[in-house]
Amino acid sequence: MFRLDRRRWRVSFLTALAVLAVQIATFQAKAEETKLPVPRFVSLDSNLVNLRAGPGKEYPILWVYQRKGLPVEIIQEFDTWRRIRDRDGTIGWVQGNLLSGKRTVQIIGEQHAITRDPHGGATVAYLDPGVVARLLKCDDSACRVEVQGYDGWLPRSDVWGTYDDEKLQGE
């Protein structure tokens, strides 16, 4: 009987060791995720994202986003959770897997025209406040965006989702 218990102990020990190895590998993978700069802009990767009071499912839900592609700013990271800020200044925690590195911007202020080149030119389309556009690139003063097949430029001051000094090389 002693030998049987000893075998069970060995199996339990080896199982625990294997579980620990998996947890270490997972922790290292998470640590690599967090090497990205903070703060940074990302977008929501789901039409249903719970904004929580803290970094965990046990924290209460403060807000529910229902708009895939909405730009948000990551301001802090903890494990697989990201503390974000939206355009209105609302701050809370979301699971990192509900965010995407795809860059978008949100039109602010009033209706704005997107044009064929960065410094004006022919109007391609008009975008209303709140419209979310895919961000293609930015130079010092303007950003190139795409919305529902329309591709053009507008002043950086007309969008939320980029930093003033940020240069984005795109298509």
Burial class (CB in 10 A: 0-12, 13-18, 19+), 98: middle
83 in helix, strand or coil?
Answer: strand
pLDDT higher than threshold 80 for residue 171: no
pLDDT higher than threshold 60 for residue 1: no
* pTM score, whole prediction: 0.79
* Of 19-23, 56-60, 143-147, minimum mean pLDDT range: 19-23
The two three-digit tokens of residue 39, written as one number: 């703060």
Q: Which of 134, 133, 48, 132 is nearest to 95 (CA)?
A: 48
Residue 69 to residue 43: CA distance in whole angstroms: 5
Phi-psi region of 130 (alpha: psi -120 to 50; beta: other; left: phi over 0): left
| pLDDT reported for residue 111 | 97
pLDDT higher than threshold 90 for residue 88: yes
**Strands annotated E in 15-140:** 40-44, 49-52, 61-65, 71-78, 81-85, 91-95, 99-100, 104-107, 112-117, 120-127, 132-138
pLDDT higher than threshold 50 for residue 109: yes
Largest CA distance in the chain: 88
